[in-house]
Amino acid sequence: MIGYKTLAVPGPTNMPNEVQRAMEVPLEDHRAPDFPSFTLPLLADLKTIFRTETGRVFVFPGSGTGGWEAAISNLLSAGDKVLSSSFGQFSSLWVKMCQDFALNVQNIDVTWGEGVPLDDYYLALSADKSHSIKAVLVCHNETATGVTSDVKAVRQILDELNHPALLLVDGVSSIGSLEFRMEEWGIDVAVSGSQKGFMMPTGLSIVGVSKKALEACSTSRFPCGYFSFQEMTKMNEQGYFPYTPAATLLRGLRASIDLLHNEGLENIASRHHRLAAGVRAAVDAWGLENCAIEPKWHSDTVTAIVVPEKYDANDVINAAYHNYGVSLGGGLGKVAGKVFRIGHLGWLNETMVLRALGGVEMAMRDVGIQFKAGSGVGAAVELYTDTRQPLSLAAE
């Protein structure tokens, strides 16, 4: 196919040239005497992205799933009780991993299209007078359904009830894109990956850990050699790693952090909200439904779009890819064949979103979905131009 393909999945995301160039370097000695002069500032600056001062951020070769395993294996033991909720593919997979580790999982099954059930969490935690619940799990941004949950509200429940449970958060598709305040929200473990808000290739599991969680490591009875927070802490303090790190990816991570700092975390969250609003305006103009049932659940990093009942979303995805070179996210689990997903996170601007929306419109026409051609793109254009910051201000 002539021309660029359009990457509109919720991860991996588009990679900035600065990140790509940063990784185009000769391989290096990760035990070199001057390696800490690179890694120590890198690890310190990572903390600013998670917004923690007293915690640590660890970087493991792996993906977000490895970060989940790190949290479980370092902090819990077989038979420990955890409170969770499942409302999409990834929140459900985290629950399954807890069950595989023989944890006692008190899971609340929620309608897909909604998020963390705060009232149910409150009831479960208030009923736990003996504090048998050791950890509370929150999927901040459920990528399968395009739903964002209120992490801060979960912390408020724990604080109100004076419950000591650890707060573990899946921030894989939110950290670096949405507002995320690890320390302020009292998050004990925050899991992310390199291929989403960090705008990098897949390959790094990036895990923020609070001081409270680090202290809890001493009580875990799970083996955790590869993902050991304690071993990583010892080596990171010297600027090294317990085993061979993905040094080339760390160079890309340095460039990624610099880009995030240059734009500013508040500006990044605002940009993502604006881009997502354009996608949501397009969905409304097409006469289709957002998988997220209410606006309060709408994600600013991914929108899952429900196709009319007689259509298969996979046909839209295939037409977009094969006919127009546009990669869309597929429906997963309970929503397989029912939704297609547009990722709008990372290194992205208005015209890149419009390119994806145009591809979606052509693909939907190809499969016979009825809508007015140009309506979605037009609605997004109107929103973006009507809300554009004046050039004189944007340049300051």
| E strand residue ranges, 103-240 | 104-109, 133-139, 141-142, 147-148, 166-170, 189-193, 204-209
CA distance 76 to 68: 12
What is this structure's pTM? Answer: 0.96
The single residue listed with the structure tokens 């299209």 is 113
What is the signed CA dihedral for 375, 377, 378, 379, rounded to 10 degrees? Answer: 80
Residues 6+ apart with CB under 8 A from 327: 5, 6, 7, 8, 9, 320, 321
CA distance 317 to 332: 13
Amino acid at 158: L
The single residue listed with the structure tokens 């897949």 is 202
Domains of the chain: 6-12+264-394 (3.90.1150.10), 17-262 (3.40.640.10)
What is the predicted pLDDT for the residue at 396? Answer: 40
Kindly give the confidence (pLDDT) of every residue in the chain, 396 residues in length, as a single tens digit, with 9 standing for 90 and above.
789 999 999 999 999 999 999 999 999 999 999 999 999 999 999 999 999 999 999 999 999 999 999 999 999 999 999 999 999 999 999 999 999 999 999 999 999 999 999 999 999 999 999 999 999 999 999 999 999 999 999 999 999 999 999 999 999 999 999 999 999 999 999 999 999 999 999 999 999 999 999 999 999 999 999 999 999 999 999 999 999 999 999 999 999 999 999 999 999 999 999 999 999 999 999 999 999 999 999 999 999 999 999 999 999 999 999 999 999 999 999 999 999 999 999 999 999 999 999 999 999 999 999 999 999 999 999 999 999 876 544 444
**Cβ atoms 216, 75 nearer than 8 A:** yes
Cis upstream peptide for 12 (omega within 30°) = yes
What is the predicted pLDDT for the residue at 389? Answer: 76
CA angle 386, 391, 394 (to 5 degrees): 100
What is the predicted pLDDT for the residue at 391? Answer: 55
What is the predicted pLDDT for the residue at 79? Answer: 98
CB atoms within 10 A of CB 320: 25
What is the predicted pLDDT for the residue at 390? Answer: 67
